[in-house]
């Protein structure tokens, strides 16, 4: 196997490879771009026009997706997996990955779409670098652009594998991409209704990619992800990479559930209180009238929406950041 296929091993060791460019027997090119960043280019005769960005480790303790990318790269570097798509593999926060922490100073996934310019520190610099890497990769005109940013959640979830679909004013959601997610084992999709500062929101709104944040189970340490079943996603990624993906009929989403954001719960002060059990799961249902949270100046969040559920509840975020999202079943979205 080519040494550059060991991107995770190199990243964990903090080593830069001596050889920055290597070729497989079939002529697929692996090129080291920066720490945790590897570009894969198929032979010109095999290229099917897809640019596929796969990122993981934006949060350093979300190891199941990192291990998935590692398996994919091993397959490419050994010649077992034969790409027809151009690819960019990104391990988002190498320092946090090495320490097994969510982040070092601040959450990178709140620093895209210009937010990194408003702060300083390691994660801000890395967010800027990731934007440049993605923009350069997606810079070739006339190609199809797809980005999966792979995560696992802090807590358990009643719907284990779900996706977050970013928002852009006037842009329709893709029927093909929803069908593709369903085929990959994704059970639900949250349709955002305003701009965001996540990595997938950046590639979606600024670079024109179809882009998704994928939540794939609960975060665990390396080697402890036996309960995170990524078989369907991994099989689908193999077929996308090799250009042999089965055709799907428009609108065939299977049992895919669609949700919309009703409200965000923002923590304004150290006096913020979230009235949920510490072990509450994502997608837990909340009854109308439930007092969800309180903050200073008699600020209260009371559930008013029928069918409301909570995702990403976290009272320990910094002041000014989102401490949870109230979601509701979505009406039929505008599709293209």
Closest listed residue to residue 320, CA positions, set 92, 113, 62, 115: 115
User: Which residues pair with residue 31 across a beta bridge?
Assistant: 21, 39
Please tell me the distance from the alpha carbon of residue 42 to that of residue 237, in angstroms, as a whole number: 16
Which are the contacts of 277, defined by CB distance < 8 A and separation ≥ 6?
none
Please tell me the distance from the alpha carbon of residue 148 to that of residue 246, in angstroms, as a whole number: 19
Question: Would the annotation count 59 as a binding residue?
Answer: yes
Which are the contacts of 161, defined by CB distance < 8 A and separation ≥ 6?
185, 186, 187, 214, 215, 216, 217, 233
Burial of 225 (0-12, 13-18, 19+ CB in 10 A): buried
Helix axes 63-78, 231-241, angle to 10 degrees: 40
Show the tokens assigned to 227: 């309960």
Q: Give DSSP secondary structure letters for 41-67.
A: E--TTT--SEEEEEEE-SSTT-HHHHH
Q: What is the DSSP letter of 40?
A: E
Backbone angles phi, psi at 59, to 5 degrees: -105, 125
Please tell me the distance from the alpha carbon of residue 105 to that of residue 312, in angstroms, as a whole number: 20
215 counts as catalytic:
yes
Question: Would the annotation count 62 as a binding residue?
Answer: yes
Q: What is the DSSP letter of 5?
A: G
Please tell me the distance from the alpha carbon of residue 332 to that of residue 336, in angstroms, as a whole number: 12
Q: Please tell me which residue in 160, 187, 215, 281 is annotated as part of the active site.
A: 215
Please tell me the distance from the alpha carbon of residue 273 to that of residue 316, in angstroms, as a whole number: 10
User: Which residues pair with residue 56 across a beta bridge?
Assistant: 91, 150
Show the tokens assigned to 115: 């937010």
Could you tell me which residues are annotated as the binding site? Answer: 59, 62, 151
Could you tell me which residues are annotated as the binding site for Zn(2+)? Answer: 59, 62, 151
Q: Give me the active site residues, please.
A: 215
């Amino acid at each position: 196997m080519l040494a550059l296929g060991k991107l995770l091993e190199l990243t964990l060791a903090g080593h830069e490879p001596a050889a920055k460019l290597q070729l497989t027997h079939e002529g697929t090119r692996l090129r080291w771009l920066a720490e945790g960043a590897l570009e894969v280019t198929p032979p010109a005769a095999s290229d099917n026009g897809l640019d596929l960005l796969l990122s993981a480790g934006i949060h350093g303790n979300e190891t199941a997706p990192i291990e998935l990318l590692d398996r994919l790269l091993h397959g490419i570097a050994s010649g077992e997996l034969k790409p027809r798509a151009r690819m960019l593999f990104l391990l988002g926060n190498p320092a946090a990955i090495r320490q097994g922490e969510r982040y070092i100073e601040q959450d990178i996934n709140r620093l895209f779409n210009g937010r990194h310019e408003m702060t300083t520190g390691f994660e801000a610099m890395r967010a800027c670098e990731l934007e440049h890497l993605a923009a350069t990769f997606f810079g070739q005109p006339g190609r199809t652009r797809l980005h999966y940013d792979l995560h696992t959640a802090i807590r358990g979830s009643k719907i284990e594998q779900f996706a977050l679909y970013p928002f852009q004013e006037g842009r329709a959601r893709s029927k093909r991409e929803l069908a593709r997610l369903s085929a990959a084992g994704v059970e639900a999709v949250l349709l955002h209704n305003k701009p965001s500062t996540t990595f997938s929101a950046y590639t979606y709104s600024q670079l024109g990619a179809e882009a998704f944040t994928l939540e794939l189970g609960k975060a665990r340490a390396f080697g402890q992800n036996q309960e995170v079943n990524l078989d369907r996603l991994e099989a689908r990624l193999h077929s996308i990479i090799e250009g042999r993906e089965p055709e799907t009929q428009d609108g065939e989403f299977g049992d895919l559930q669609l949700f919309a954001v009703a409200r965000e719960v923002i923590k304004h002060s150290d006096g913020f209180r979230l009235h949920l059990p510490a072990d509450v799961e994502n997608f837990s249902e909340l009854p109308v009238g439930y007092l969800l949270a309180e903050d200073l100046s008699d600020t209260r969040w009371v559930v008013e929406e029928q069918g409301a559920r909570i995702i990403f509840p976290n009272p320990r975020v910094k002041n000014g950041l989102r401490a949870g999202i109230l979601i509701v079943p979505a009406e039929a979205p505008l599709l293209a």
